[in-house]
Every structure is written in C-alpha cells, then in structure tokens.
Amino acid sequence: MDLKQLAYLRALGIQVWVDRSGRDRAAPETETMKAELCAEEWERLAQAVAECTACPLHQTRTRPVFGVGNRRAAWMLIGEAPGEQEDLKGEPFVGPAGQLLNEMLRALRLKREEVYITNLLKSRPPGNRDPRPEEVAACAPFLMRQIDLVRPQIILAVGRIAAQNLLQTEAPLSRLRGKVHYYKAIPVIVIYHPAYLLRNPAAKRQAWEDLKFAWQVYSARSQQTHG
Ligand code: URA
C-alpha cells in the first residue's frame, strides 16, 4: 500500500495497519510516514478551504485566509474573521490588529512563527461585518480539523465572537475572561481582541492580566504532562 492510498483511507476514517514484514503482523508507522501523511492532510484541508462554496463569502473575498504558523504549536490562537489586509494577503492578523497581536505574543515571549493562528471564518465578511451564524457553521469543520491536527496545549480565543462560537455560549466577554474553559479537553483562555484594544487602550492593563493568566494555565499543564 503506498502513502497516497494510506492517506486516502485515513481521510475516510479507516484505520490501517501497515504490514512491512510480509507476515500477517500489525506494524507501527514510522515517524517520517506520519509526518508525510500529516503534511498531505494539511494540503488537502487548505485545498478544501480554497474550493469551498458552502457560504456566499467565497464570492466576495479576494483570497481565502486559511491559517499560519507552526502546525505543531503548543499555542493556538483563534480570531474572528479576516479583515481587509488579511483578505488581500491571505494571512490572518496582518493589519493593525495583527501588529498588536504580535506584541501581545512577544509579551508572552512567543514569536508569531511559533504559534498557530487562524480564524473562525476563512473568508472576509464584506465591510468587516460580524460573521453570521450560518457562515460560522459552514466554516466550523475546517477549524475543528485544524485544532485536531495542531493538537495545541492551549487555545487563546481572541475576542468575544471567537470565544462565544468556540465555547458555544452567549455569555459576555466580561464573564468569559479570567476562567479556564475547555474545547475537547484543551484549555481555552479568552482574551480581548486587539482591534478592541486599539480602540480602548485603557483595557490593555486587563489584557496583560489575561495573558499572564494564560501563561500560568499553560505552565501548569506543561508540568502535568512533562513533569
Ligand atoms: N481580526 C480577526 O479576528 N482576524 C484577523 O485575521 C484579522 C482581524
């Protein structure tokens, strides 16, 4: 069985044991094979996003905005939807809010390339309006697959809309901040959206508290898993 067939069967959810001995014996995959399968799966997913017509936003966007960064990151950041700059470049958080997000990461001693960044929506809503529930629902399978593939140690939900959709709640941001939530057993910390912080710089102090809290949660979890 070649790699392509294997990847195909896996994509269908069929568990395959590779017999490399010639005998009737189940053998574990090599790390290289796993990495190749994973890379193929990422490519297929990005392609599926590029070809998706499940909601009308594909008609008005310039480029799909899939996600960027380390596909095996410990930290995953999930924002709302691409804005103008992101739509032009095909990359999340590259406009002014993105610059501030990079600084927020730097405060955590994290580089943008070390984390994985994506959004609920992979296409820009016209005029930067809020995502509609049906658009979020149409895009959700892509985000879920990204989370499953990255398998982060911690997720930062960036802003109210990302948090409410990820956590399936209508609670306001003020009630979501400062608590540990979970998405499939992965801790989720809710932080202010950098676009909000640009409009309300006085909230930066609270934003810093949220980041410190996220760091504590991450450190405690790393100690549990590694120590
Ligand atoms: N705001 C978001 O939520 N995501 C982006 O990618 C850019 C701005």
> Residue 165's domain is classified under what CATH number?
3.40.470.10
Contacts of 124 (CB under 8 A, 6+ apart): 57, 60, 61, 62, 65, 81, 82, 83, 84, 86, 87
pLDDT for 23 beyond 50: no
62, 84, 86, best to mutate for ligand 1 pocket (most atoms within 8 Å of CB): 86
Whether 60 maps to a domain, the answer reads no
In angstroms, what CA-CA distances link 54 with 58, 81, 123, 125, 137? 8, 16, 11, 14, 10
pLDDT number for residue 22: 45
Domain that holds residue 18: 1-51
Q: How many domains does the chain have?
A: 2
Residues 26, 21: Cα–Cα separation, whole Å = 9
Pair (218, 136) in one structural domain: yes
77, 78, 93, 102, best to mutate for ligand 1 pocket (most atoms within 8 Å of CB): 93
Measuring from each residue's beta carbon to the nearest atom of ligand 1, which residues come in under 6 Å?
A: 79-83, 86, 92-93, 97, 119, 195
Pair (41, 81) in one structural domain: no
Whether 181 maps to a domain, the answer reads yes
Position 37 confidence tier, pLDDT thresholds 50, 70, 90:
confident
Pair (100, 198) in one structural domain: yes
Q: Rounded to the nearest whole angstrom, what is the distance from the C-alpha of residue 208 to the centroid of ligand 1?
A: 19
| Arithmetic mean of pLDDT, 31-49 | 93
Q: Rounded to the nearest whole angstrom, what is the distance from the C-alpha of residue 145 to the centroid of ligand 1?
A: 19
Pair (46, 151) in one structural domain: no
Whether 22 maps to a domain, the answer reads yes
Whether 205 maps to a domain, the answer reads yes
pLDDT for 154 beyond 80: yes
pLDDT number for residue 224: 86
Whether 128 maps to a domain, the answer reads yes
> Could you tell me the pTM of the whole model?
0.86
| End-of-domain residue from the set 10, 25, 51 | 51
Pair (22, 113) in one structural domain: no
Pair (7, 84) in one structural domain: no
Six-digit token pair at 131? 């995502």
Whether 99 maps to a domain, the answer reads yes
Q: Rounded to the nearest whole angstrom, what is the distance from the C-alpha of residue 37 to the centroid of ligand 1?
A: 29
Pair (75, 38) in one structural domain: no
Whether 114 maps to a domain, the answer reads yes
pLDDT for 27 beyond 80: no
Point out the ligand 1 atom lying closest to the alpha carbon of residue 86: 6
> Mean pLDDT, the chain, as a whole number?
91
